[in-house]
Amino acid sequence: MKKKLLLSLTGITSLILGLSVSKPVVAANSSIQGQNPATAKETNTATQSDSNKEQTNSNETSTTGNSSKNTNNLSKVLKYLQKSVILKKPAYIYDNKGKKIKNKKLKKGTIIYVSGLNTAKGHSFLQISTKSKKKQYIKPGNVKILKIKVYKVKKNAKVYDKKGRLVVIGNKYPFVKKGVKIPVYYLKKINGQKFAGISNTQFLKWSDLVHKTN
């Protein structure tokens, strides 16, 4: 009787020990310890949402940075807008995408009217006024602003070229009438004589103008 009772107690003890050992296995079945699968899914979704939000904010910051850079570039060349400028050195011509146009180059001393501004490839460009339908641009580092002064013609003034020779059209000599007020871009000495530049290639004798500016 004692032996049977002892065996029964031993079996019960083994059963209890077996149950206690198997309990941790149940806890290991959940994907995140301490959370059920539904809660874990919500956590993953929230984490992905935060990650996407950070990426969006990063893109917005990058775009804002580029916009700010373009604005700063344009603000530096704003002083040239709707002004007459002269080329300090030869200048290449570019299209509206900032690509250099082949075989297009302006000579030093060319007078240009800046009709607009453009930003391309991180650089600012000055739009030049031309007869071409396609917009053309030059770099601002090639120019300086002209201080234009207006003078009155005191007598009929004949027009000269950049070498100091009279301009002839057919068999006639073009001239500017007495009393006309004309803009002068710069003064230049040609063959020791003082001339007033009224365009890239045309000049009047300084002595033909009233030297008091308007």
Domain assignment of residue 172, yes or no: yes
End residue of a domain, out of 116, 145, 174: 145
Q: What is the pLDDT of residue 6?
A: 42
Q: What is the pLDDT of residue 132?
A: 79
Sort 192 into a burial class: Cβ within 10 Å, 0-12 / 13-18 / 19+.
exposed
End residue of a domain, out of 92, 111, 145: 145
Which residues, in sequence order, are CB contacts of 16 under 8 Å at separation 6+?
none
Q: What is the pLDDT of residue 57?
A: 54
Q: What type of residue sits at position 175?
A: F
The mean pLDDT of the chain is 77
Which of the four pLDDT bands, split at 50, 70 and 90, describes residue 138? very high
Domain tally, the chain = 2
Q: What is the pTM of this model?
A: 0.57
How far CA 15 is from CA of 3, 7, 12, 35, 118, in Å, comes to 19, 13, 5, 30, 86
End residue of a domain, out of 117, 145, 173: 145
Domain that holds residue 201: 149-210
pLDDT over threshold 60, residue 39: no
- Claim to verify: residue 121 and residue 163 sit in the same structural domain: no
Three-class DSSP category at 129: coil
Residue 210, sorted as left (phi over 0), alpha (psi -120 to 50) or beta, turns out to be: beta
158-185: average pLDDT? 95
pLDDT over threshold 50, residue 130: yes
Which of the four pLDDT bands, split at 50, 70 and 90, describes residue 74? confident
Give which of 127, 66, 70 is closest to 95, Cα–Cα.
127
Q: What is the pLDDT of residue 75?
A: 77
pLDDT over threshold 50, residue 178: yes
Domain assignment of residue 81, yes or no: yes
- Claim to verify: residue 198 and residue 171 sit in the same structural domain: yes
Give which of 39, 124, 128 is closest to 83, Cα–Cα.
128
Say which range, 13-17, 23-27, 81-85, 166-170, has the weakest mean pLDDT.
Answer: 23-27
Q: What is the pLDDT of residue 76?
A: 83
Domain assignment of residue 202, yes or no: yes
Domain assignment of residue 137, yes or no: yes
pLDDT over threshold 70, residue 68: no
- Claim to verify: residue 122 and residue 178 sit in the same structural domain: no
Which of the four pLDDT bands, split at 50, 70 and 90, describes residue 164? very high
Domain assignment of residue 11, yes or no: no
**Residue matched to tokens 């979704």:** 45
